[in-house]
Copies of this chain bind each other. A is one copy, B any other.
Amino acid sequence: MLSIVIIGTGNVATHLFNTFLSYDTLNVLQVVGRSEDSLAYFANKTKTSLISNTIEIADIYIIAVSDDAIAEVSEKLKNQKGLVVHTSGSVAMSILKPHQNKGIFYPLQTFTKSKLVNFRAIPICIEATQKKDLKTLYFLAETISNHVHEVSSEQRKHLHLAAVFVNNFSNYMYTLGNEICEEHKVPFHILKPLITETAEKINDITPLQAQTGPARRNDVETMQRHLDQLTTKEQKNIYKLISESIQKKYGKEL
């Protein structure tokens, strides 16, 4: 049985907490937060504590707070003997410098409070300097997920940036599509099968092969018509820049 203390009360902390609860081999001893308010959700499910109070002795301490608070929390945990990890995609492991036993436990997923997640399908990137700690992280990660990857801090930094493109930015493309539909009273849901197919396609072929559309085939007339159709400068600029980039990428073969 692995004993766990979670520091943090946000999306990642909450989703991890709820997932850990469902496994007998994991025991969340305590959730640590900044305020009584933020701890209310956890209060009747496990021990809770403010960061300034006593922290339980655990096998692993998971720091799931915003990037810029990790260093401070790490410092406050400096007397704990267990393994200390954080869950951030973009912060190096070295930030946990007070700790001899340190590591990373980064679930590569987009968490929103309102949506349940199935951790089994979520890739978890782990890292540690000590063999024993890596073993602990493998155990924890493989308990909850089918996709566990050992990834260095350097690799993780790039993975996180790539994730901004494939997740944050593609979601924003959905938002712009939705905006266009709403403006012209076309039901956005008509596009949902297309969105699903676009994502699924790249399980079979690379996104480079999967590219279609006016920019891909250098259809200048359609692109001009689209630009005329768009109503905001915002939309026009984004349409232009991405189209030009696609045209350049495939330019050699045109």
- Chain A residues with CB under 8 Å of chain B are 67-68, 90, 108-112, 114-115, 117, 121-123, 125, 147, 149, 151, 154-155, 157-159, 161-178, 180-181, 183-188, 190-216, 219, 221-222, 225-226, 229-230, 234, 237-239, 241-242, 245-246, 248-249
Which of A157, A164, A225, A245 gathers the greatest number of chain B CB atoms within 10 Å? A164
A245 to B114, CA, bound (A): 24
A149 to B123, CA, bound (A): 37
The residues of B that contact A210 with a CB separation of less than 8 Å are 110, 112, 115, 171, 174
Residue in B closest to A155 when the chains form the complex, CB atoms: B186
Beyond contacts A125-B190, A159-B191, A174-B202: 19 other A-B pairs, Cβ-Cβ < 8 A, are A111-B212, A112-B205, A112-B210, A114-B209, A121-B196, A149-B187, A151-B190, A161-B229, A161-B230, A162-B191, A164-B213, A164-B226, A167-B213, A168-B215, A174-B210, A175-B211, A178-B206, A196-B200, A237-B241
